[in-house]
Amino acid sequence: KAGVTQTPRYLIKTRGQQVTLSCSPISGHRSVSWYQQTPGQGLQFLFEYFSETQRNKGNFPGRFSGRQFSNSRSEMNVSTLELGDSALYLCASSSAGQDTQYFGPGTRLTVL
Amino acid sequence: DQQVKQNSPSLSVQEGRISILNCDYTNSMFDYFLWYKKYPAEGPTFLISISSIKDKNEDGRFTVFLNKSAKHLSLHIVPSQPGDSAVYFCAAMSPGGTSYGKLTFGQGTILTVHP
């Protein structure tokens, strides 16, 4: 089976812009979770989607949002980018959200 | 509030010897624990997991031990190989409800295996 894929791998944006990141889960997996990794905060949970519904959300501002499509592919959007949003954004998929999560390679976002 | 802690930022081991990585947690609701290996600018790679109903799980060179009373788990790698050099993250999950799809990670331990 193909693994989790994320596009794009690298992105450079300026403050105030918005960005959309994409994640395709492992075939058959219906749960997609998103995480932000920064040197200071480590790996932090953003949100989880299952069957096109957000079931869980971490402690991030409303500028961070996401959605999931009927084929389980997911996107996350960050609006009004700030310098502090520079991070590695990771998505992970699992069968049902309460089992082992498999991660994609991540999208490195740099905000200038 | 750091619910999952890896108190050793780094560990250095000789090739062929045992590597022991430790992890402590505070949330007694955690019932599923995982270890991931990560290289810079890449996603974490799943290594091994353990459910709270077990105290040990083995997969090849990797063994995870869980001590629920001490809220402590450890990952043993035997024998260690230079290719094992990476950052290792411990992660934990609670049962459903408000914890759907959420892994809580430790801060990671950098393992260096010397030839």
Tens of pLDDT, residue by residue, chain B (115 residues)? 789 999 999 999 999 999 999 999 999 999 999 999 999 878 999 999 999 999 999 999 999 999 999 999 999 999 999 999 999 999 999 887 668 889 999 999 999 999 9
Residue A101 and residue A31: Cα distance in Å, rounded? 9
- Option in A55, A102, A104 nearest B101 (CB): A55
How do residues A28-43 score in pLDDT, each as one tens digit? 999 999 999 998 888 9
Phi, psi of B85 (to 5 degrees): -65, 120
Is the dihedral angle over the CA atoms B105, B58, B46, A53 positive or is it negative?
A: negative
Altogether, the residues listed in chain B come to a count of 115
- Option in B32, B98, B101 nearest A31 (CB): B101
Interface contact flag, B100 A94, Cβ < 8 Å = no
- Strand B86-93 versus strand B104-105 pairing type: antiparallel
Q: Which residue has the tokens 């949002």?
A: A65
Q: E strands within B45-101?
A: 45-51, 56-59, 62-67, 72-77, 86-93
Q: Is B49 part of the contact surface with chain A (CB cutoff 8 Å)?
A: yes
Other CB atoms within a 10 A radius of the CB of residue B34 amount to: 22
Identify from A55, A76, A90 which residue to disrupt to test chain B contact, counting B C-beta atoms within 10 A and taking the largest count. Answer: A55
Give start and end residues of each alpha helix (H) in chain A: none
Interface contact flag, B43 A48, Cβ < 8 Å = no
Phi, psi of A84 (to 5 degrees): -70, -10
Question: Residues 6 or more apart from A86 whose CB is under 8 A from it?
Answer: A38, A109, A110, A111
